[in-house]
């Protein structure tokens, strides 16, 4: 994997579903970051690979590529690994480049606001039945994500107090990072929106403690320590490390390892743990070697359980806030993590090694390990 170098990384602002980006389609969100990354690359990519979960179908990556104004000759592929789709797309793009492909633009996009309604066909002459999501697993194991996160927190001993404190810290970090301008270089304005919508100043653990359990009687997961439902897109530009860009010393992130793994579908939130172990093994690194860590914060209890399982101090991760504060645009979230790594390791020079990881519905996880080249 050392043959792939990420030399560009951009994302849209992240909006709350039905609000700031409600009128922007998945193809338009994706097109905005594909165009920006292609411009940063300074050349036409050989391929576009985008992750997506709930879009209209029809190969969203292809529609976004054409919306971006790329030549019709550039092929595009849409990847669905549910919440891990954006990071899986980057993993695939890195492997394509390492295998001899030309430059690849890879990432993810999600517009929960414009996602089409979906229906099961009628049975025995009855009406069609609308459903909110496709199955993640066979019916016997298809646990709702919120319930699964609550059960995981209980089983792993993650208390409500820890969850609320972590969620409050995520918002505080995101608000501070925005105030310092740390997101400015990575954000591509779209639909007249240039800033993330969700982070809240002054959100304390004490305020979050007032929320009731959202998914299970007596549970610890609430709407306050869970991510939102969001719109957004993110993408990176990947070039061969031996290309003229790499040879000229262009700064970037060398991909050292990447992996996806599966776990029991009833506890999908822990899925990133085996993926992290595999990716670190491929990279030849340990948790202690990492300078920057970005985990997707779908639920505070879920991500804290993952930190505990891997022996990671939560204070070392998501320095600019995570999905609890910024939002979780499903198919894009894994790519957002890599954009955040790029900003911290390349734009800000905060260290050498970085890790991005995300869990996905159905019991899967994806992880990526990178090294800053400056």
Q: Specify whether 83 is catalytic.
A: yes
| CA–CA separation, 349 and 369 (whole Å) | 16
Q: In 3-state terms, what secondary structure has residue 201? A: coil
| CA–CA separation, 258 and 236 (whole Å) | 15
Give the pair of three-digit tokens for residue 43.
């050349």
Could you tell me if 299 and 146 are in contact, meaning their C-beta atoms sit under 8 angstroms apart? yes
Give the pair of three-digit tokens for residue 354.
């970085």
Annotated active-site residue in 53, 306, 318, 328: 328
Q: Specify whether 171 is catalytic.
A: no
Residue ranges of E strands in 38-173: 47-51, 76-79, 104-111, 118-120, 129-131
Q: Can you say how many angstroms the Cα of residue 184 is from the centroid of all Cα atoms in its chain?
A: 18
| CA–CA separation, 317 and 328 (whole Å) | 17
Other residues' Cβ atoms within 10 Å of the Cβ of residue 119: 11
| CA–CA separation, 49 and 40 (whole Å) | 17
Annotated active-site residue in 53, 83, 227, 306: 83
CA dihedral 331→336→342→347, nearest 10 degrees, is 150
Which residues are marked as active site? 83, 328
């Amino acid at each position: 994997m050392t043959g792939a170098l990420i030399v560009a990384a951009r994302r849209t602002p992240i909006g709350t579903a039905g609000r700031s980006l409600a009128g922007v389609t998945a193809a338009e969100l994706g097109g905005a970051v594909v165009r920006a990354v292609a411009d940063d690359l300074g050349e036409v990519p050989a391929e576009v690979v985008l992750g997506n979960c709930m879009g209209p179908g029809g190969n969203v990556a292809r529609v976004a590529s054409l919306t971006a104004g790329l030549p019709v000759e550039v092929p595009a592929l849409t990847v669905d690994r549910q919440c891990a789709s954006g990071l899986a797309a980057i993993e695939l793009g890195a492997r394509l480049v390492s295998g001899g492909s030309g430059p690849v633009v890879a990432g993810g996009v999600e517009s929960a606001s414009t996602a089409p309604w979906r229906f099961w066909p009628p049975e025995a002459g009855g009406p069609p039945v609308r459903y909110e999501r496709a199955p993640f697993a066979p019916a016997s194991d298809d646990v709702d994500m919120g319930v699964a996160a609550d059960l995981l927190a209980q089983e792993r001993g993650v208390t409500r107090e820890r969850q609320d404190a972590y969620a409050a810290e995520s918002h505080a970090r995101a608000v501070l990072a925005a105030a310092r301008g740390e997101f400015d270089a990575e954000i591509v304005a779209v639909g007249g929106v240039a800033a993330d919508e969700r982070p809240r100043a002054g959100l304390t653990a004490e305020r979050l403690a007032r929320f009731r359990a959202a998914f299970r009687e007596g549970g610890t997961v609430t709407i306050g320590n869970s991510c939102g439902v969001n719109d957004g897109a993110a993408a990176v530009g990947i070039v061969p490390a031996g290309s003229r860009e790499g040879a000229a010393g262009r700064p970037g992130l060398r991909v050292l390892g990447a992996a996806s793994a599966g776990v029991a579908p009833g506890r999908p939130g822990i899925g990133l743990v085996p993926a992290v172990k595999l990716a670190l093994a491929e990279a030849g690194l340990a948790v202690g070697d990492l300078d920057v860590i970005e985990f997707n914060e779908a639920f505070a209890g879920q991500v804290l359980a993952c930190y505990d399982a891997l022996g990671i101090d939560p204070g070392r991760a998501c320095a600019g806030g995570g999905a609890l504060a910024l939002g979780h645009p499903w198919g894009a979230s894994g790519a957002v993590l890599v954009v955040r790594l790029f900003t911290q390791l390349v734009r800000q020079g905060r260290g050498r090694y970085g890790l991005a990881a995300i869990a996905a519905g159905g019991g899967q996880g994806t992880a990526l390990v990178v090294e800053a080249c400056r």
